[in-house]
Chains A and B, each alone.
Chain A
C-alpha cells in the first residue's frame, strides 16, 4: 500500500506527513502540478501555507492540477486526509463541510490538545475506538471551524463530526468543539490538529499514528 502526500508551494508539513506514512506503509510526495496521482492508494493533503495563504486559506490550492485528481480520487471512494492547511483546502474544495475562520483569540496557537474520537468508522479512524482521547498538537492561526446553522445541523445529524476537542480544550472557538469532520461517505476526513507530528513517544505522543494505521486497515478490508 502506498500513500501520496501532496506538496504545494508553501507546504511545510509534507515531510513529517511522509515520515508518518512511511512508518506504516510506502509513501511518496506528489507535486501540486502533477496531473496524475501515480497510482497511490490514499492521499494526505498536509499542513503549511499553500500559495502563501493568499486571498483565503486553502482557496488557491484547491485549483492545483493535482487537486483536480484528488477530487476524482475522493469521488471514487479513495481515502483522503486533510491536515490543518490540508483541511482548509478540502473545505474550500467542497469535499468537506464548513469553513475555517481566524481563531477567536486572533493568536497563533501551538500546543498539545486532547481530541476525542467521535466516529471510529471512517477510513482514517478505524484503528481507534469511539471515545478515545488522542493527544495531538495543534499549530494554527485560522482553525475555528464554522458552519452556518442549517449546515451545522446537517453535519451533526449525519454524524459527520469525527473529532472533538476534549472538554475545556477547544483552543480556537470552533463550533461545537469540532476538531475534524468527514464527508458523508466517510472516505474524506479533515482535522486541524497534526497527527503527523505525534508519531513517536520521543516527541510526547504517538497517538497520531493511529490515523495512518486506520487507512492501512481500511485498504486491507477493501
Chain B
C-alpha cells in the first residue's frame, strides 16, 4: 500500500517560510490567498498502518513542533 504523510508546522508556531511565500504573492497579482503554511510530504510504501504511525512519531514528525496526517492512496 502507498501512503502520503503530510507534515506541517503546528498551529500557532511561526512559519517564516510560509510568511515569505505569502509576502511574494502580491507581486504575482495574487490577492485572495492567505495563511500560507509550508510543510513536507513523504510518500512511501507500507504494509502495516500501526508500523507506519510508529514511524511517523519516531522519525518523520517532531510532535513538539509539527502535526501530520496520513493519506492512504491504496
Using a CB–CB distance below 8 Å, which chain A residues touch chain B? 55-56, 59-60, 63, 92, 98-99, 101-106, 146-148, 151, 173
Contact = CB atoms under 8 A, between A and B. Distances in A.
A99 B16 contact: no
Interface of B: 13-14, 16-17, 20, 40, 59-60, 62, 64-65
Interface of chain B, main secondary structure: mixed
Contact of B62 (A59, A60, A63, A102): A59
B14 A99 contact: no
B64 A104 contact: no
Nearest to A104: B16
B16 A105 contact: yes
Contacts of B16: 102-106
A60 B59 CA distance: 8
B39 to A, nearest CB: 11
Query: Which 6 A-B residue pairings sit nearest by Cβ, starting from the closest?
Result: A106-B16, A99-B64, A99-B65, A102-B16, A99-B62, A106-B20
B65 A55 contact: no
Contact of A56 (B17, B20, B62): B62
Contacts of B59: 55, 59-60, 63
A55 B40 CA distance: 8
Contacts of B13: 101, 146
Contact of A146 (B17, B20, B65): B65
Contacts of A173: 14
Contacts of A147: 64
Contact of A148 (B14, B17, B60, B64): B64
Contacts of B60: 55
A67 to B, nearest CB: 13
B55 to A, nearest CB: 12
A173 B16 CA distance: 11
B57 to A, nearest CB: 12
Contacts of A59: 59, 62
B17 to A, nearest CB: 6
A38 to B, nearest CB: 27
A60 B55 CA distance: 12
B62 A92 contact: yes
A173 B14 CA distance: 10
A173 B64 CA distance: 17
13 contacts: A55-B59, A56-B62, A59-B59, A63-B59, A92-B62, A99-B65, A101-B13, A101-B14, A102-B16, A104-B16, A106-B16, A106-B17, A106-B20
B16 to A, nearest CB: 5
Contacts of B20: 106
